[in-house]
């Protein structure tokens, strides 16, 4: 397997509390990897470690071939990140947001300009390029945020609940963008609370109380837990966590 993320025994402790408890997994290039779990299961902490935002207490992680503890700066150069909160600048225009993030990732201004136009056409936002982001509807903002996160063609993009609060149609469109990016070889690492979205992933990991309780394709998981939907799989696993 040609893996772009390798985590082995990755652990994060805050004082006595173990947020992430010896998790190990690998994600292949171009894969859409769903990272599921109840609130507080440790998803965001694990993701922050993989992004180089937080140092692991112990264990090892390689992202895009770089050690997340020793080379966080290199890791950051090769990933894209879209946070839980909507994270574009509302008082900047659509194209200015794109240009800013492209600039942050060190892209050349000559490369940036034509690429912005291309991306805007792709998103159907070309006519809105001079609109302030604050005036866009939420669904458009999320799509824009995603294309900004992959504007510099990172190897991996981390999406932290990217479709929160978005209507089903826009969510579908959003996933089309994700598939399109995955087809180009960008690895997608996504957390979500929508189980229908979990079905769209190639593989899923389920986190309960800081540990990975299950990791497989959606189909295999349903069979293993004798569940008709991913919802049921989630309930069974999450309830197990509560009882502990």
Partner 1 sequence: MKQFWAFIIKEFEHIFRDMRTILLIIGIPIAQILIIGFAVSTEVKNIRVAVYDPSNDVSTQLIINHFESSRSFEVVRSLQSPDEAERLFQQNAFDFALIFSEHFDENLYHTGEASVQFIADASDPNYGNTAVAYATNILSDYQQELMQKAMASGMNSANFRIVPQVQMLYNPEMNGSYNFVPGLMGMVFILICAMMTSIAIVREKESGTMEVLLASPVKPIYIVISKMIPYFLISWFILIIILLLSIFVLNVPVAGNLIWLNVFSLIYILVALSLGLLISTLVRTQVAAMLASGMGLMMPIMILSGMIFPIESMPPVLQWISCIVPARWYISGIRKIMIEGVGVIHILKEMLILTGMAAAIITLSLKKFKTRLE
Instruction: Kindly list the residues in this chain that would bind partner 1 in the complex (CB under 8 A).
Output: 51-55, 73, 76-77, 79, 81-92, 96, 99-101, 103-106, 108-109, 158
Please state the closest distance from residue 63 (CB atom) to partner 1, in A.
Answer: 12
According to DSSP, the residues that pair with 91 across neighbouring strands are: none
CA 80 to chain CA mean position, Å? 8
**Cβ closest to partner 1, residue 68 vs residue 233:** 68
Please state the closest distance from residue 230 (CB atom) to partner 1, in A.
Answer: 28
**Cβ closest to partner 1, residue 88 vs residue 94:** 88
Please state the closest distance from residue 39 (CB atom) to partner 1, in A.
Answer: 17
Please state the closest distance from residue 18 (CB atom) to partner 1, in A.
Answer: 16
**Cβ closest to partner 1, residue 99 vs residue 191:** 99
**Cβ closest to partner 1, residue 85 vs residue 226:** 85
Sheet hosting strand 58-63, strand order edge to edge: 17-28, 3-14, 58-63, 66-67
**Cβ closest to partner 1, residue 37 vs residue 52:** 52
Measured in degrees and rounded to the nearest 5, phi and psi for residue 88 equal -100, 165
Q: Where are the alpha helices (DSSP H) in the chain?
A: 43-50, 72-77, 94-104, 109-123, 138-149, 168-183, 195-200, 218-224, 230-243
Q: Measure the CA–CA gap between 119 and 117, rounded to whole angstroms.
A: 5
Please state the closest distance from residue 103 (CB atom) to partner 1, in A.
Answer: 3
Encoded tokens for 137: 């509807």
Encoded tokens for 25: 């997994």
Residue among 102, 38, 109, 50 at smallest CA distance from 76: 50
Task: For residue 151, give the 3-state DSSP assignment.
Answer: coil
Please state the closest distance from residue 47 (CB atom) to partner 1, in A.
Answer: 10
**Cβ closest to partner 1, residue 139 vs residue 164:** 164
């Amino acid at each position: 397997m040609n893996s772009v993320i390798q985590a082995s025994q990755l652990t994060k402790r805050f004082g006595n509390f173990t947020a992430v408890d010896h998790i190990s997994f690998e994600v292949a290039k171009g894969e859409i990897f769903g990272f599921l779990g109840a609130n507080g299961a440790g998803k965001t902490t694990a993701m922050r470690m993989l992004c180089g935002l937080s140092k692991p207490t112990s264990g090892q992680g390689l992202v895009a071939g770089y050690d997340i503890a020793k080379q966080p700066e290199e890791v950051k150069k090769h990933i894209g990140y879209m946070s839980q909160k909507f994270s574009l600048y509302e008082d900047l225009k659509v194209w200015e947001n794109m240009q800013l993030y492209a600039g942050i990732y060190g892209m050349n201004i000559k490369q940036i300009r034509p690429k912005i136009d291309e991306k805007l056409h792709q998103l159907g936002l070309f006519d809105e390029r001079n609109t302030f982001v604050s005036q866009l509807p939420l669904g458009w903002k999320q799509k824009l945020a995603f294309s900004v996160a992959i504007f510099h063609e990172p190897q991996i993009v981390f999406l932290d609940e990217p479709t929160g609060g978005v209507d089903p149609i826009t969510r579908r469109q959003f996933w089309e963008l994700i598939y399109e990016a995955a087809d180009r070889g960008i690895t997608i690492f996504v957390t979500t609370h929508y189980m229908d979205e979990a079905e769209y992933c190639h593989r899923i990991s389920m986190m309960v109380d800081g540990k990975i309780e299950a990791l497989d394709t959606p189909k295999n998981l349903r069979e293993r837990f004798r569940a008709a939907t991913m919802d049921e799989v989630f309930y069974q696993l999450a309830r197990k966590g509560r009882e502990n």
